[in-house]
Amino acid sequence: MAYVGFGQNLQYVLPFQTEAVPSSMKSNQAPRPVNSTITTVVVPSTSGNATAGGLATIQVPLGNAAYMANPYLRFRLVVTTGGNSARRFKGVTSSASACIASYQTSINSTLIDNILNYGVGVADPLLAHACSSSYLTKDGSVLFNSLTTTADTVNDELYVLPLLGLLGSTQAFPLWLVQGTLSINLNFASLGQIFSDCAAANSILTATFSDVALVYDRITVEGDFIAKMKAEMMGSGAKYVYNFTSYQGLSAISTNGQNTINTGLNVSSLRAVTMTTPVTANLIIQNSASGGFSLVTGLSQFQVSLDGRQVNNVTLNATTSPALVFSELNKCYSRLFDSAVDDISTKALFLTDSFSVGVNCCRVSEGLSFQGSPVSVVGISLTQTAATGTNFIVFVSDQSLLIDAMGSCDIVR
């Protein structure tokens, strides 16, 4: 085959041989949004105040001619103390997410989300490794008290938490398309699961959660727009696709030796599998040694297989190669070598406070739908040297809510 010099093969034109006008040199071609109005709405809990270990239920009416955007959770925490009550929340980020043990989201009694171990198992590692540490020290300290010690003179504070799962989507939820009720059940954690760094195990005597509410922006659109959308959907049989990220979790006591965990997940797009391991005894008491931090626990192996096919062929040994473990964890959050996001960890703290291990299962990083790996059974093989911790394992996957013109919902997992 004869050598073809640069630019001589007319069958393949290199992209940089052509020219394009940069968007900054063009007239602005961005269209304006449809006619609409915006109102910030507060939906209070229908169950009144709750105590530690209690339940709060929020009922959001559907069927309005509007979209739901920018939702977040709001609640006020009032404590009574038995002495010095200077305190922090459980977990390495010490955020108010530790107040929530789990929460469920359902539409007309059909369960959409069930996020178990929400505080220490899901939200804490996400805040620690999927966002910037400067955000936690500044914005997070204002919103949900992250990395902040509350003085013993402060017994009444209001916190704001972001939502995960269905209502954590970047899309606006189409309230107009679904009839009925969107329900959120919040299960609050016990006192020992919430507080740490207290002077004694019984420093906090009671905790009451009041002003529990969902706050969101209601974007009201015109009736003609809704009628047109429904007519097009009925005519073509198309469904409204609402994408969100699901966080399914399980917990298991660590073992001294090798352990294998098989889980029938049955999802079409598994993005990542992560694990944290706090000391079990520190999750139920309040004293100063009970921070709920995640430790290495002698982890020398962490392998993930999808339907029998091993995903990671590298040996994730946290005792000898913490840098390798950290790099693979960053891939789970799509931030490997991203200098714009600084982790909460340092070389020392990663092994003693904020440890987490993870395996990335995304096939591409293009921002496509369902870019994770399809799997029926996820197998996890790990080797640890201590039986004193609790392994919180989280499966991160893509899911879609499909809504037809009549308001019927189907979930694509």
Query: Region 137-148: what's the mean pLDDT?
Result: 95
Please count the other Cβ atoms lying within 10 Å of the Cβ belonging to residue 172.
Answer: 17
Q: What are phi and psi of 256, to 5 degrees?
A: -85, 95
Give the per-residue pLDDT at 6.
Answer: 54
Residues 6+ away with beta carbon under 8 Å from 263: 250, 377, 378, 379, 380, 395
Q: Are 112 and 105 in contact (CB under 8 A)?
A: yes
Q: How confident is the model at residue 350 (pLDDT cuts 50, 70, 90)?
A: very high
Nearest to 282 by CA among 344, 190, 193, 214: 193
Q: How confident is the model at residue 15 (pLDDT cuts 50, 70, 90)?
A: confident
Q: Which CATH superfamily is domain 36-412 in?
A: Adenovirus Type 2 Hexon, domain 4 (2.70.9.10)
Give the per-residue pLDDT at 196.
Answer: 87
- Global pTM reads 0.92
**Can you give the residue ranges of every domain in the chain?**
36-412
> 13 or 141, which is more confident?
141
Q: Which tens digits make up the pLDDT trace of 30-61?
A: 899 999 999 999 999 999 899 999 999 999 99
- For the chain, the average pLDDT equals 91
Residues 6+ away with beta carbon under 8 Å from 272: 331, 332, 333, 358, 359, 360, 361, 362, 372, 395, 396
Instruction: Specify the range with the lowest mean pLDDT, choosing from 77-91, 137-151, 154-168, 326-340.
Output: 77-91
From CA 319, how far away is CA 312, in angstroms rounded? 18
Q: How confident is the model at residue 4 (pLDDT cuts 50, 70, 90)?
A: low
Q: How confident is the model at residue 287 (pLDDT cuts 50, 70, 90)?
A: confident
From CA 71, how far away is CA 73, in angstroms rounded? 7
Q: How confident is the model at residue 1 (pLDDT cuts 50, 70, 90)?
A: very low
